[in-house]
Chains A and B, each alone.
Chain A
Amino acid sequence: MKMRIAKILTLSPSIAKFTLQPVSGALPVAAPGAHVIVEIPGPTRIWKNAYSLVSSPEDRGQYEIIVRRVEHSRGGSAWLHGHASAGDVLEVSAPQNLFPINRLAKKHLLLSAGIGLTPFLAYLHTLNVPFELHHLCKPEDEAAFRSLLPNAANITLHTSRNALDLNALLAAQKLGTHLYLCGPDNFMRVALATAQTLGWPDAKIHQESFGGATGGEAFTVHLQRSGLTLEVAPEMSLLETLEAAGLAAPCLCRGGACGECELPVLSGLPDHRDHVLTPERRAANASILTCVSRALSPELVLDF
């Protein structure tokens, strides 16, 4: 659906909140944790980036997203920060939810770092069981994040001044608590390892990774059924290369988490960067998740 940028609020040199309003009609309601895919028109290519909705799910008149300008990004966020202005019209997908609240939890423990706070901002609108939010951020971002969070006893911002004792926090949680993690890969790895060491079961740990594709070596992909041979450039993902060639490649989350984009591999060695394939399936190399994975061999042949 077409959406117009109604407002851009700069929260810090690298973080901005965009308010999007529909060009016509009311917006679909979205569950907390939902994201939209925004098509960002660059000078030489279109980027498709996923952003969590931070606005209230009941607001049918606008969506709000928060964009961090990524230092070494492939360009989408940089364009939004540097070139977008109020009045611009963007193509935005319907919301999809790959990070929903668990409905049986007696308490939600939300842990985020950096831009990972965004899905939790939507949660805050609707949570009606006990919860606790701990957000880690750099000192230069503290003011920006504080402006986004209500003042409450169960919401804590952590910087180097008041570090979070993750071990103590996780060890003290009662049985019905569910843990939600969102942030950069490093943070997720440490938090996950700490929880697992303390005996947290996977069923109670929920993660949204904002990793996405980060580029790599160029490689060639042969598409058996389409009869096409394409070059995947270092800064393009395999999925984006297929889409740029006009092919209707399947996808959903664009972050290697859902499996929708999986295509059969006929030959070549995939470089698996997703969160879906089991170790056995990775070793078998019969599939690839095109939105994040690349190739170890110079060429891949796909059944597509």
Chain B
Amino acid sequence: MSKSRPIYAPFKLDLAGKAHLIVTNQPEVPELEAALANIEIWTVQTIAPGVQAPIRDNTRAFRAVPELFTHLAHRLSRAATGLRLYAIGTESFIWDAHNIAMAAGLSATEIHLTQSGPLVRRVICTHCKTTIEDVPQNIVTCPGCGAALFVRDHFSRRLAGFMGVKVDAETPGQIPAAEVFVS
């Protein structure tokens, strides 16, 4: 397993922080030991347009991930040092949240990532730069250039995805059996 592959810790509040914002694209919301006044939880739920999205106590629901991310960037641009961000969900969701946070000025130690949900990967085709979402196994056909790609364990935080390289360059047409991701 490549050392570039991140290793995730279970969710836990970082008590050195003074305010906490949790964002997740999964239906389960983390259990919190205490109801602290300075914690907010943002979730994604199916809510039709025109229907008011619920804001209750310290919880807020968004219609879709892009809407959550828009609000996240806006919130972070006004936040004071001392905030900790927690992203819980699929791997590309949490790294997209991470990158929004870094652009807003948070450092890696102020961002805590926990992987949960389907084990699918974002893959970037090295040859034509196409991004392929939600890939469940380690061989995928690139919709951009048609190459059969092997999904390496090499992960780029900047691109928030895994490297895909043509699997049969040396043995044209011989494509090995795909293996489902177990992590």
CB of A198 within 8 A of chain B? yes
Q: Mark B34-58, 1 if CB is under 8 A from A, else 0.
A: 0000000000000000000000000
Check B18–A175 contact: CB distance below 8 A. Answer: no
Q: Give A202 to B83 CA distance when docked, in angstroms.
A: 14
A199 to B16, CA, bound (A): 5
A173 to B76, CA, bound (A): 12
Whether B107 contacts A174 by the Cβ 8 Å rule is no
Bound: A303/B141 CA distance, A: 59
Tell me, yes or no, whether A177 is within 8 Å of chain B by CB.
yes
Contacts A174-B81, A175-B79 given; does A196 touch B108 at CB 8 Å: no
B81 surroundings in chain A (CB, below 8 A): 170, 173-175, 177, 198-200, 204
Q: Given A170-B81, A175-B76, answer yes or no on A203-B109 (Cβ-Cβ < 8 Å).
A: yes
B87-123 contacts to A, CB under 8 A, are 104-110
Interface members, chain A 204-229 (any B CB < 8 Å):
204
A283 at interface, CB cutoff 8 A: no
User: In chain B between 66 and 93, which residues have their CB closer than 8 angstroms to a CB of chain A?
Assistant: 76-84
Complex alpha-carbon distance, A203 and B104, angstroms? 15
B17 at the A/B interface (Cβ < 8 Å)? yes
- Taking a contact as CB atoms closer than 8 A, the residue among A172, A177, A198 that contacts B105 in the complex is A177
Q: Which of B18, B76, B107 contacts A198 (CB 8 A)?
A: B18
Q: What band does the interface of chain B fall in when counting residues whose beta carbon is under 8 Å from A?
A: 20 to 34
**What residues of B have a CB within 8 angstroms of the CB of A23 in the complex?**
none
B83 touching A175 by the CB < 8 A rule? yes
Return the chain B residue nearest A198 by Cβ: B82
Question: A171 to B82, Cβ gap below 8 A?
Answer: yes
Contacts of B84 in A (CB 8 A): 199
Task: Kindly identify which residue among B16, B17, B80, B110 contacts A174, using a CB–CB cutoff of 8 Å.
Answer: B80
A106 beta carbon closer than 8 Å to chain B:
yes
In contact, B79 and A199 (Cβ under 8 angstroms): no
| B18 vs chain A, min Cβ distance (A) | 4
Are B80 and A201 in contact, CB atoms less than 8 angstroms apart?
Answer: no
A28 at the binding interface (Cβ < 8 Å): no
Smallest Cβ distance from B17 to chain A, in angstroms? Answer: 5
Q: For the complex, is A264 an interface residue (Cβ under 8 Å from B)?
A: no
A161 to B145, CA, bound (A): 70
Residues of chain A contacted by B78 (CB below 8 angstroms): 174
* Cβ–Cβ contact A202 & B80, under 8 A: no
Min Cβ gap B21→A in Å is 11
Cα-based distance from A203 to B81 in the complex (angstroms): 12
A176 interface residue, CB < 8 Å from B?
Answer: yes
Residues of A within 8 Å of B17, CB to CB, are 199
- The distance from the CB of B64 to the nearest CB of chain A, in whole angstroms, is 25
In the complex, chain B residues whose CB is within 8 Å of the CB of A200: 81-82
CA distance A177 to B109 in the complex (A): 14
Complex CA gap A212/B105 in Å reads 33
Q: Are B18 and A199 in contact (CB under 8 A)?
A: yes
* Cβ contacts under 8 Å, A201 to chain B: 16, 107, 109-110
Contacts A199-B16, A199-B17 given; does A175 touch B105 at CB 8 Å: yes
Which chain A residues border B107 with CB–CB below 8 Å?
A: 201, 203-204
* 7 closest A-B pairs by CB: A176-B105, A199-B82, A175-B105, A199-B18, A203-B107, A201-B109, A173-B81
Residues of B within 8 A of A (CB): 16-19, 76-84, 104-110
Supply 12 A–B pairs (Cβ within 8 Å), ascending by A. Answer: A171-B80, A171-B82, A174-B79, A174-B81, A174-B105, A175-B79, A196-B16, A198-B81, A199-B84, A200-B82, A203-B107, A203-B109
Contacts A201-B16, A201-B110, A202-B109 given; 19 further ones with Cβ under 8 A?
A106-B105, A170-B81, A174-B77, A174-B79, A174-B80, A174-B81, A174-B105, A175-B80, A175-B81, A175-B83, A175-B105, A175-B106, A176-B104, A176-B105, A177-B105, A198-B81, A198-B82, A199-B16, A203-B110
